[in-house]
Amino acid sequence: MASMRKVKFSLQNKITILIFTLLIVTLSSIVGYYMSMNWKNAKDQMANSVKKVTKNLGALWSVAKENGRVNWKVYGDYMNGYVQVDKNVIAMAIIDSNGVVRASAINDPLLKTYYKSLKTGADKNETVKAVLDQKLSDSYKVMGNLKIVDKAEVEKAKAAVTSKPAKGKSKSAVKKAAAPEPAAVPEVKSTGAAQLVVKYTMWGVYNSQNAMVLNTSLLALVILIVGWLGAWYLAKYISTNFNIIVAGMRKVAEGNLDVEVNVKSNDEVGVLADDFNRMIVELKQKVRIKDAFESVADGLKDMDDIKKAYKTLTYQEMTDKMMKGYAPVARPDENRTVFIFIDTSAFMNYSYELMSEELKTIIEKLIEKVSMTALEYQGAVFKVTDKYILLSFGYPFKHKDDMKRAMISIVEIRKELVSIVKSKLTLGYAVEDFSVNFVMVGGNVSKNFVDKLTLEKFAVIIDYLNFASKYGAKKQYSTDIYATGDIALGTEQLATFERVDSVAMREGEALELMKLKGTKF
> CATH homologous superfamily of domain 325-519?
Nucleotide cyclase, GGDEF domain (3.30.70.1230)
- Residue 491: predicted pLDDT: 92
Confidence band, pLDDT 50/70/90 cuts, at residue 423: confident
Q: What is the mean pLDDT of residues 137-155?
A: 66
pLDDT exceeds cutoff 80 at 287: no
Instruction: Tell me what pLDDT residue 390 has.
Output: 92
For the chain, percent helix, then strand, then coil, each to nearest 5? Answer: 55, 20, 25
- Backbone phi and psi for residue 510, each to the nearest 5 degrees, phi listed first: -95, 135
The pLDDT, as a whole number, for residue 342 is: 94
What are 2-56's pLDDT values in tens digits? 445 566 666 677 777 887 788 788 878 877 887 788 778 877 777 788 788 877 7
Across the chain, what does the average pLDDT equal?
77
pLDDT given at position 392: 93
pLDDT greater at residue 385 or residue 437: 437
The residue with greater pLDDT, 33 or 511, is 511
DSSP state of 267: S
Q: Is the pLDDT of residue 495 over 90?
A: yes
Give the model's pLDDT for residue 437: 92
C-alpha span between 127 and 105 (Å, rounded): 10
- Judge whether 404 and 378 are in contact, CB under 8 Å: no
Question: What is the spatial distance between Cα 123 and Cα 388, in angstroms, rounded to a whole number?
Answer: 128
pLDDT at 424 over 90: no
* CB 283 within 8 Å of CB 257: yes
User: Quick one: fold of 14-162+189-216?
Assistant: Beta-Lactamase (3.30.450)
Q: How far apart are the first and last CA of the chain?
A: 19
Whether 253 contacts 49, CB under 8 Å: no
CB distance 46 to 90 below 8 Å: no
Give the pLDDT confidence of 436-466 residue by residue, as tens digits: 999 999 998 877 788 888 889 999 998 888 8
Q: Report whether pLDDT(513) > 90.
A: yes
* Interval 87-126: pLDDT, tens: 888 888 888 777 888 888 888 887 778 777 776 666 777 7
Domain residue ranges in the chain: 14-162+189-216, 325-519
Confidence band, pLDDT 50/70/90 cuts, at residue 180: very low
Spatial distance between the Cα atoms of 109 and 107, rounded to a whole number of angstroms: 6
Distance CA 159, CA 450 (A): 152
pLDDT for the residue 320: 62
Identify which has the larger pLDDT, 411 or 119: 411
* 48 SS3 class: helix
pLDDT at 315: 57
Question: Mean pLDDT over residues 414-443, rounded?
Answer: 87
Phi/psi at 58 (nearest 5 deg)? -65, -30
> What's the average model confidence in pLDDT over 345-366?
81
Say if residue 76's pLDDT is above 80.
yes
93: closest CA among 45, 56, 54, 48? 54
pLDDT band at 517 (very low <50, low <70, confident <90, very high): very high
Q: What is the pLDDT of residue 311?
A: 61
pLDDT in tens, 260-277: 888 777 777 778 888 888
pLDDT for res 183: 39
Does residue 187 have a pLDDT over 60?
A: no
Which helix (H) or strand (E) segment holds residue 105: the answer is: strand 101-106
Does 406 have pLDDT greater than 70? yes
Quick one: which of 127, 131, 40, 138 has its CA closest to 88?
A: 138
Q: What is the pLDDT of residue 186?
A: 42
- Max mean pLDDT range (156-160, 282-286, 344-348, 392-396): 392-396
Q: According to the model, what pLDDT value does residue 9 have? A: 66
Model confidence at 251, pLDDT cuts 50, 70, 90, reads: confident
Q: How sure is the predictor about 482, in pLDDT bands with cuts at 50, 70 and 90?
A: very high
